[in-house]
Amino acid sequence: MTACKVFYEGRVQGVGFRYTVKRIATGYEVTGCVRNLADGRVELNAQGEENEVASFLDAIAKSDLGSLISHTEKHEAAPAKGSRGFEISF
């Protein structure tokens, strides 16, 4: 089990970014959440098997969202116990 926190910069707010990420997540065995930050970035928290998380992040980059992302910053994180589903945080 692996977990990460990813920060996306660019034109990532007001364009359906979080909803698209949630839709993409349904195709992968990952849990976590995505939320807008006050500074204009989007924060993604994801966990699952290493290959599933990597494939999920790759799918985000290769989706229509990829053209909206100008910078991505990824950090390893401690997996949360009892995490279920993938949601949009407000």
In tens, the pLDDT along 22-40 reads 999 999 999 999 999 999 9
User: What contacts 49, CB < 8 A, 6 or more positions away?
Assistant: 1, 2, 29
Residues designated as active site:
18, 36
Is 88 contained in some domain?
A: no
pLDDT of 13 above 90: yes
Residue 56 within a domain: yes
| Contact call for residues 33 and 89 (beta carbons, < 8 A) | yes
For the full predicted model, state whether its pTM sits above 0.75: yes
Any domain includes 70: yes
Number of domains in the chain: 1
- Residue identified by tokens 């790759």 is 58
Whole domain around residue 64: which residue ranges? 2-77
* Neighbouring residues of 61: CB distance < 8 A, sequence distance ≥ 6: 69, 72
60 located within any domain: yes
Is 30 domain-assigned?
yes
Q: CA torsion sign, 67 to 18 to 42 to 78? A: negative
Q: Does a structural domain hold residue 87?
A: no
Q: Is 41 contained in some domain?
A: yes
- Condensed to tens digits (0 to 9), the pLDDT of residues 28-74 reads 999 999 999 999 999 999 999 999 999 999 999 999 999 999 999 99
Q: Looking at residue 22, which CATH number applies to its domain?
A: 3.30.70.100
